[in-house]
């Protein structure tokens, strides 16, 4: 439980291996500091991100979800990030329907050379999620209606 004290809000990031993960590596190599709430899940490409991942993250207690990959046109796999962008365009319209505030989800492009941008994105998003407070709706539903697996 001590986890929750220091690491609130909880933010899950789905990032691609080639751009944002490497950009985050660069932030580290450059010893740039950022807020510690983020937990990154590395995927080969943002094209791999199924919108269900995002819902699952909220269900499992995330207060914010960050999605980040290569800039348009720079995808290591040619077009994966375009598919991600298209899914995002549809998905973010459904957020409201699902009872998730749009401010809890952020989509950004961070390239492998943008260590500083990564830091800025993480800090800005962490602050934004902080002002939203904890996301409890799904946890409540889980508690009330779902028998824990």
Partner 1 sequence: MKIGVFICHCGENIGRTVDCARVSKAAGFFPGVVHSVDYKYMCSDPGQNLIKQAIKDFKLDGVVVGSCSPHMHEKTFRKAVADAGVNPFLCEIANLREHVSWVHEDIDVATDKAIDLIRFAVEKVKRNTPLTTIKVPVTKRTLVIGGGISGIQAALDVANAGYEVVLVEKEPSIGGHMSQLSETFPTLDCSQCILTPRMVEVYQHPKIKLLTYSEVEKVEGFIGNFKVTIRKKARYVDDTKCTGCGDCMQKCPIKKKALSEFDEQLTTRSAIYVPFPQAVPNIPVIDTSVCTYFKTGKCSMCKKVCGRDAIFFEQEDQMLTEEIGAIIMATGYKLYTIDKKPEDSEIKGYGEYGYGKYKDVIDGLQFERIASASGPTSGEFMRPSDGKTPKKIVFIQCVGSRDESKGFSYCSKICCMYTAKHAMLYKHKVHDGEAYVFYMDIRSGGKMYEEFVRRAIEEDGVKYIRGRVSRIYEEDGKYIVKGEDTLAGVPITIDADMVVLATAMVAQPDASKLAQTVGIPYDKYGYFVEVHPKLRPVESSSGGIFLAGACHSPRDIPDSVAMASAAAAKAMVLFGSDMLEREPTIALVNENLCAGCFYCKKVCAYNAIEIKQIKDKQGNLIKEVAFVNSGLCQGCGTCNATCPSKSIELIGYTDEQIYAEISALM
DSSP for 81-128?
HHHHHHHHHHHHHHTTTTT--GGGEEEEE--TT-HHHHHHHHHHHHHH
CA separation, residue 146 to residues 63, 77, 127 (Å): 20, 39, 31
What is the rounded CA–CA span in Å between residue 80 and residue 94?
Answer: 22
Q: What's the closest the beta carbon of residue 107 comes to partner 1, in angstroms?
A: 15
* Binding residues among 28-47 for partner 1 as defined by CB under 8 A: 28-29, 31-34, 36, 39-45, 47
- Count the residues in the chain: 149
Q: Which of 66, 67, 87, 125 binds partner 1 (CB under 8 A)?
A: 87
Is 67 among the residues that bind partner 1 (CB under 8 A)? no
Is 61 among the residues that bind partner 1 (CB under 8 A)? yes
Is 83 among the residues that bind partner 1 (CB under 8 A)? yes
Q: Which stretch binds partner 1 (CB under 8 A): 5-13, 93-101, 102-110, 125-133?
A: 5-13
* Binding residues among 98-127 for partner 1 as defined by CB under 8 A: 111-114, 119
């Amino acid at each position: 439980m001590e986890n929750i004290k220091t690491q609130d809000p909880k933010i899950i990031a789905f990032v691609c291996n080639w751009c944002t993960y490497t950009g985050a590596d660069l932030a580290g190599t450059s010893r740039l500091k950022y807020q510690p709430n983020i937990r990154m899940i590395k995927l080969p490409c943002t094209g791999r991100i199924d919108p269900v991942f995002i819902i699952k993250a909220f269900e499992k207690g995330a207060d914010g979800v960050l999605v980040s990959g290569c800039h348009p046109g720079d995808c290591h796999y040619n077009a994966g990030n375009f598919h991600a962008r298209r899914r995002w365009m549809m998905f973010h319209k459904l957020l409201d329907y699902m009872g998730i505030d749009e401010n809890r989800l952020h989509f950004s492009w961070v390239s492998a050379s943008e260590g500083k941008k990564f830091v800025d994105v993480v800090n800005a998003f962490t602050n934004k999620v902080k002002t939203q407070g904890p996301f409890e709706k799904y946890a409540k539903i889980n508690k009330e209606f779902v028998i824990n697996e």
